Structure 1
Amino acid sequence: MTTGTAGIGRSEFTGRLVGRDDPGYERVRRAAIWNARRPDRFPDLILLAADEADVARGVRLAAERGMRVGIRSGGHSWIANGVRNGGLLIDLSRLTEIRFDEATGLVALGPAARGAAVDAALAPFGRFFPTGHAPSVGVGGFLLGGGYGWNSRVHGPACLSIEAVDVVTAAGEIVRADADEHPGLLWAARGCGPGFFGVATRFHVRTYRRPPIHRAVRTYPLDRLDEVVTWSQDTAPWLPAPLEIAIKIGAPPGEAEKVITIVGTAFGEDGAALLGALADAPFAARTGDGSPSSPITMAELYEESGRWSEAGLRWAVDGIWTDGPTDGVVAGTRAMVEAIPGSGSFVFILPWGAYRAGVPAAWSVQAANYVSPVAAWTDPALDDQHRAWVTDTTKAMEPVSRGVQFSDADPASRPGPGLSARSQTRLAALRRRYDPNRVFTSYLTAADL
């Protein structure tokens, strides 16, 4: 087993190559895992790549030595999918390029660029991209996994905005995949998640006109739960696409009482009027408190959303796409909420609606609603309790599930389809073509733990 870097020629790399026997290995390994609940998985080598040339050298090194390659884009992966036992982990966290081309309206993004930085770079040009909701999300995993971001109900999952992607293949070659060259790689990059059979080192994505934004927040007591969930299933998904609804149910950190918080974010000139849908909800006239509609900036949105995915905590997450029936979603959500293990953990509901892909894409699983249990805690002694809540209550909702969203899925604990059967078949054929020796790791399974 190769556990150190002796005889590997580290001088060939601009970045840093670290082996298990090298000083500082554990610090580098831990830095590659965003979740404070770090898995006991130990790559033999970790490459902190400085550029795509480093990535290509790393892939060739792994292929020569019969090592499998895991990838960390640089943001937050709840399950640290790229960190495996043995093999080579390529950490792309230094690849943070953001370069906007005014002539084409495309922005080139390194996989470790984060949403807030992307938005700040586009703002002076009056442009917008549907970046991830949390400021700690790197665009690499976000785009490959589908990309349900700000205003995605209008522009679609962010992966559908990829026009081209620069990829290091299993042969260690650097190629650009677009509609004409390597269209299969482009198709897979649009939503196949951790099953991608290459290293995406740069994405070229469409941008859009920057909209004004309005926001309103309303809070309800828990006894309105069934009404809120019914509304989230039957009405909210079909509200105008520029209106994004997010529902969070749980006790705020340090508090005992569970509450329902509904956040409306509206994009466009008529955003303030669209937020009237919150006041029109059947439960709104009787109870509820919160802020009126007001303008908000993307920077402020990121400041607020950062509180929903705070660094330094222990996290466990899962989720399902569901089209109902409504009574099954209500009952499953109620059971999930009743079993929340402590303050700080919550149930998240995204009334998504539907979006028809206008470009060839692996992305193929969605439903009207997304329901996700999100556990957050600090004490390692509570790991089993919180993980069990997430996994068991999500399993109980499988009868109403259409599939999983890659960004939240924990396939090692609860496997579920993130792609249609047709997309899975094509993805397998493309992997055999581009990665016949299975150099790259794929979806995490129980056998990988």
Structure 2
Amino acid sequence: MKSTTAELTDILLRRGEPAYEDARLDAIWNGRTTRREPAAIVRARSVEDVQAAVRLAAREGLQVGIRSGGHSFVASGLRQDALLLDLSALDSLQIDADRGVARVQPGVRAGAANAALDARGLTFPVGHYPTVGLGGFLIGGGYGWNSRKLGPAALSIVAVDVVLADGSLVHADDETHPDLMWAVRGAGPGFFGVVVCYHLRTYPAYTQVLRSSMVYPETMRDEVLAWSYEALPETSRSLEIAGKVGWSTEYDRPTTSLIGVGFCQDETADEIYEVFESAPFRKHALAVVDRAPSSIAQLHAVAEVGMPQGNRYALDGVWTSAPIDRILAAGGGTMSSIPTPSSFLFWMLWGGYPIRDDACWSTQGTLYFSPNAVWTDPADDLRLESWAHSSLDAFADIDEGAQFSDANPADRPAKGLEPAQAARLEDLRETYDPDRRFVSYLQPHESTTALGDHLRSR
């Protein structure tokens, strides 16, 4: 059935119409907005709306960008003169506890998904922030709570319902459409369709979630980080370990913290924390918290307080598995020049996860080194953006790539997939979307940041 513009009357906004700008800004979580202006915005309420929007774009020669939760720090779905397909209202969630499968639409938020699953005695590696939409999170790989053990969330996708470039709706699983399933597991903003429903494998709820932390003075930074990196191979995969380097309001000075969140399921707390609690420098800590009872909902609440909506954010990161002395040498300048009290260096000890033949997700390393710039004054944009992105040039010799959730390929091009996977993805795009109906990864000419303007002016 052919769609008509009339089908979209109540949800289609053209550039210049009264409600257009509010809808454009509503699609951007970051207080640092973009100048890019789509030709039109469709705020879909149903799968049929999505199909109609894709067909409209084809008739008018528009590309399609997609917004699920709007948490992309670079607003990758908003593209100049394209059609923005806003899926945030598609937020249905159904759980088949007997089969252990959840059917979630892309607008479902991490916090809501966790609450619904928890009520049924189930869990899933949802995103670290409660307002993250599952659509973009899943398709970008999905480094969520307990992903060291359960794997990136994309690997738990068992089927999808996808609207393709011709507006048709396809149900795909590994038997019927293995190429689509391969691509949807990790292609990120480069996927060539609109996923309107994810079918996810869920897991039994944890018997306990525990949170430990150690806070150290700045002078111990390199010692603490080096130990955490080198101890990782002996550490239980049920312990999610992260470091944070930045200003501490509690101590009114820079500190280095290690946080260890333990997910008890098939291991005891003693087994999970054995290595973490053996740190040889614990007696020098400014503060120690051991195995405080927690929950994913409580972890979400802490994360939301730490990065509230409304601030200006610039994030980036590199995967690396280099020797620790090379990492500290490359990252020392970044860690010693954290530019605002709210900014910090995120030291995520991932440890790697086996790459699978049925997923294009691929780029990873032992460590994710991620500068997080946080500020409020637009006058500071160039300085803060440069710290978040350009400071990573020091990792050029040991940089294994970026992850889609934080990457800003317009200002710092970096690979998010291994070369073989990237090549296969482009071959599949030629098959499924030869007219390039769907936008792909941001390009340098699309940047509207102060750093992008500066780089183009050189």
The question of a shared fold, defined as TM-score above 0.5 by the shorter chain, is answered with yes
Paired residues of 2:28 and 2:70 also in contact (CA < 8 A): no
Superposed, 1:46-445 pairs within 5 Å as 46-211=41-206, 212-252=208-248, 257-268=253-264, 270-271=268-269, 273-358=271-356, 360-445=358-443
Residues 279-288 or 204-213, more deviating: 279-288
The residue type equivalent to 1:294 in the other structure is A
Q: Secondary structure at the match of 1:93?
A: coil
Q: Percent identity?
A: 42
The residue type equivalent to 1:230 in the other structure is A
The residue type equivalent to 2:370 in the other structure is S
Change (3 A) 1:76 1:44: same
Paired residues of 1:221 and 1:259 also in contact (CA < 8 A): yes
**Over the residues paired in the alignment, what is the CA RMSD in angstroms?**
1.7
**5+ long unaligned stretches in structure 2:** 448-458
Tell me, in whole angstroms, the C-alpha distance in 1 between the residues paired with 2:426 and 2:36: 26
Q: Secondary structure at the match of 2:332?
A: helix
Paired residues of 1:14 and 1:50 also in contact (CA < 8 A): no
Cα deviation, 1:9-32, whole Å, max 9, x if unaligned, reads 654038511011211111110000
Change (3 A) 1:32 1:96: same
TM-score relative to the length of structure 1: 0.95
1:237, distance to aligned residue in structure 2 (A): 5.0
Cα deviation, 1:225-244, whole Å, max 9, x if unaligned, reads 11122123211254110011
Tell me, in whole angstroms, the C-alpha distance in 2 between the residues paired with 1:96 and 1:44: 25
The residue type equivalent to 2:83 in the other structure is L
Paired residues of 1:404 and 1:418 also in contact (CA < 8 A): yes
1:256, distance to aligned residue in structure 2 (A): 5.3
Tell me, in whole angstroms, the C-alpha distance in 1 between the residues paired with 2:92 and 2:329: 46
1:358, distance to aligned residue in structure 2 (A): 4.9
Tell me, in whole angstroms, the C-alpha distance in 2 between the residues paired with 1:238 and 1:139: 32
Paired residues of 1:130 and 1:152 also in contact (CA < 8 A): yes
Cα deviation, 1:341-395, whole Å, max 9, x if unaligned, reads 1110000011111211456100111111111000011111111110010112112
Cα deviation, 1:165-200, whole Å, max 9, x if unaligned, reads 111101111101111222111110101111000011
Paired residues of 2:111 and 2:300 also in contact (CA < 8 A): yes
TM-score relative to the length of structure 2: 0.93
The residue type equivalent to 2:346 in the other structure is F
Residues 211-220 or 35-44, more deviating: 211-220
The residue type equivalent to 1:232 in the other structure is S
Q: Secondary structure at the match of 1:400?
A: coil
The residue type equivalent to 1:291 in the other structure is V
1:332, distance to aligned residue in structure 2 (A): 2.2
Aligned length: 442
Tell me, in whole angstroms, the C-alpha distance in 1 between the residues paired with 2:297 and 2:162: 31
Paired residues of 1:266 and 1:274 also in contact (CA < 8 A): yes
Paired residues of 1:213 and 1:271 also in contact (CA < 8 A): no
1:310, distance to aligned residue in structure 2 (A): 1.4
Residues 238-247 or 369-378, more deviating: 238-247
The aligned counterpart of 2:451 is none
1:287, distance to aligned residue in structure 2 (A): 2.9
Change (3 A) 1:98 1:314: same
1:119, distance to aligned residue in structure 2 (A): 0.9
Tell me, in whole angstroms, the C-alpha distance in 1 between the residues paired with 2:235 and 2:303: 22
The residue type equivalent to 1:244 in the other structure is E
